[in-house]
Amino acid sequence: MDKIVPNVPLTYLEIPYKSTWQVNINAFRVGEKPTFSNGAKSAFYFKDVPAYLDTFSPFIKLPASSGTEMFAKFFHEVTDLKQEDGLLMGPCNLDSYQSINLFINDQFYVKMQPESFVIDIGVRGKCFIPFTFSDDESFTLGEPFFRNFYSVFDDSKGIVGIAPSVNFVHSTIVQGIVPNDELPQPGQVAKERNRQNMQKVPDGSDPIAMIKYYIGKAQSFIFGQSNNSAPGGGSGSTLEIVGIVVVVGLLVACCCAAGIYGLI
C-alpha cells in the first residue's frame, strides 16, 4: 500500500459480474476550466459507453464512432501531433497538454495527468501519445490510465479500488455531475448546416427568385464571398452545388439557343 498518496482512501468502482473488468463512461472534462482559451467548450456528455480495464494494454482506446470527436477535444490546443511508424507522436512539453477527466459510472471524475500519457521513448524532441481507436463502441483504459492510480481488484465483491499514485499526486477521483453540453456526433455539424441552407432555398414556384438565389451562390462559390459559411466549413451544401450547376447549365443552354436563332 506504499504506492498510495498518504491519507487518501481508496475509491471503489462497482464492476458488473462479467468475464472482463468493465466500468461505464458517459462524459469527460478537459482541463480545469469550462472552456478552452479560445472559448470552445471543454466538457461534454454522451450515451453510456463500456470501458474495459486492461492493465496489459499500452493504450487508451476511444470508441470507434465518436472517438474522433473525443480525440479532437482531448488535444484541442495541441499542435504537431503526427503518426510515425504506426505511433502517435507529439511535443514533449507537458504545458502543451491538459488533464483529461473521465466521468466513470455516472459518479466519479477520474483525472489523468499529462505526465501519464506523454511518454518519452527516446525520439529526440518527440514523445509517444498512447491514444488510439477501438474496433467497436468501447473504451479501453490501459497502462497510461493505471499509471495515475494505485488499483486493487476485488473479484469476490465485484469492485475495483483506486487511489492516486505517489508518482501522480495531482491525479484525483472526485464526485461530480454530467456537463450540460452533448458531444457532437460525426457529421452532425454538417447536417445542421445543410438543414439551415435548405430552409433558405426559395420556393420552386418562383423560378426568377431561384435563378437569382443560385446566381448569388455561384458568385460566392467562385469568388469565396459567402457570408453564410461557418468557420472552417465548406463552400456550401450538396443541394446548393447541384443548384448552381443546374442554373449555369440553363444559362449556357439559353445562350446557345439564342445564338442558333440569331438573337445574340
For the segment 231-260, what is each residue's pLDDT rounded down to a tens digit?
334 444 555 565 556 656 666 665 565 566
pLDDT category at 185 given cuts 50, 70, 90 is: confident
For the chain, percent of residues with pLDDT exceeding 70:
70
pLDDT category at 227 given cuts 50, 70, 90 is: very low
The model scores a pTM over 0.85? no
Average pLDDT, the chain: 83
Q: Give the pLDDT of residue 225.
A: 44
158, 15 Cβ separation under 8 angstroms: yes
pLDDT category at 230 given cuts 50, 70, 90 is: very low
CA dist., res. 36 & res. 34, Å (int): 7
What the block records as the C-alpha cell of 244 is 448552381
List the one residue out of 110, 4, 5, 92 whose CA is nearest residue 51: 110
Write down the domain spans for the chain.
11-175, 188-260
State residue 14 phi and psi, 5-degree precision: -75, 135
- CATH code of the domain made up of 11-175: 2.40.70.10
pLDDT by residue (tens digit) across 78-112? 999 999 999 999 999 999 999 999 999 999 999 99
Strand ranges in 85-244 using DSSP code E only, listed in sequence order: 87-90, 100-104, 108-112, 127-128, 131-133, 139-141, 149-154, 159-164, 173-175
pLDDT by residue (tens digit) across 51-78? 999 999 999 999 999 999 999 999 999 9
Q: Give the pLDDT of residue 235.
A: 42
